[in-house]
Amino acid sequence: MFIIESYTTAVLFCIVTMLCWGSWANTQKLAAGSWRFELFYWDYVLGIVALALLSAFTLGSIGEGGRSFIADVQQASTANIGSAIWGGVLFNAANILLGAAIAIAGMSVAFPVGIGLALVIGVVVNYLNAPVGNAGLLFGGMALIVVAILLNAFAYRRTATGGTGLSTKGLLLSVVAGCLMGLFYGYVAQAMFPNFDVPEPGKLSPYTAVVFFALGILVSNLLFNSLLMWRPFIGTSVSYADYFRGSGRDHLTGVLGGMIWCLGMSFSILASDKAGPAISYGLGQGATVVAAIWGIYVWKEFGGAARAAAPKGVGTLLNGMLLCYIIGIGLLIVAR
């Protein structure tokens, strides 16, 4: 299987992860005009599964390093398979809530608040499991990211146009999503052998772990998304018949979003071998900056009437949020 050989390459892979995780939600925004989030999400999950399998049968099955995908599946223990699947279930619960928060509050709020909180929790959990990197720099970066989360939440509350109840719901969904999102990565990392060059009996290769992680998302989505279709956070309920009435463009947009996210996940997992799970996950969650830039400057989520009516200083809060994030992510990079 293909394995990363250096820390520099691992950082480059983390940057790709950051771009993928921060950009996939653009597909949700593109589809939002004619396609409900609950329907979009079915195709998004199919895109994740498709790319996970594609990676496993290509990069995960070539080369002399590690263990090929089929051989790895055949020897995997039930406990490690279950750990990867449970990671997928946790992620799916978090991501559905994040998607709902995006629909209510926008990318520039849901990502900095939800994923920023997930970054803090995820780095702490993964560092405790595998303490790689300078603790002072890691946690100093985390402190700056917490400040960025607070600045973003404050700016959103000052510009929210949907009423106090709706703005509170958007923030609350982001916070709950972030708490769950910060836990899933550790279960996937625990299922893998720590040194990708030296396979361990019963443990999973990174490619196999991502496949079972994706299957956990797919199976749990039958419950989670069905409930969300029946009782959505905003709007009226939708049916399975509505899904099949979607256009080819609607479905392909969702699949593309899932494939973009899963490419980032695969690269993050591969990078964890040389960078350590805490740093790999933390750098990938620099996606918050990418998503905030998309939301603020491309989708104008703080623009228009909301920004015109907002108290002075909102622009300063947003710039301060981005600066804290960028410095915090920089500290994560040098922590290794």
Give per-residue burial for 278-298: e unless 16+ CB within 10 Å, then b. Answer: bbbbbbbbbbbbbbbbbbbee
Question: Does residue 268 sit within a domain?
Answer: yes
pLDDT one-digit tens code per residue, 213-256: 999 999 999 999 999 999 998 889 999 999 999 999 999 999 99
Poorest-confidence range of 67-71, 150-154, 172-176?
Answer: 150-154
Question: Does residue 247 sit within a domain?
Answer: yes
**Residue numbers of the domain that contains 50:** 7-334
Tokens standing for 330? 């920089």
What is the total count of domains within the chain? 1
Question: Does residue 71 sit within a domain?
Answer: yes
pLDDT above 50: residue 85: yes
- Tell me, what's the pLDDT at 303? 59
Beta carbons within 8 Å of 257's beta carbon, 6+ residues apart: 24, 25, 26, 27, 28, 40, 43, 44, 47
DSSP code of residue 295: I
Please name the amino acid found at residue 90.
L
Global confidence as pTM: 0.84
Question: Does residue 287 sit within a domain?
Answer: yes
pLDDT one-digit tens code per residue, 296-332: 778 776 655 444 445 577 778 888 888 988 898 888 8
Question: Does residue 2 sit within a domain?
Answer: no
Question: Does residue 139 sit within a domain?
Answer: yes
Question: Does residue 1 sit within a domain?
Answer: no
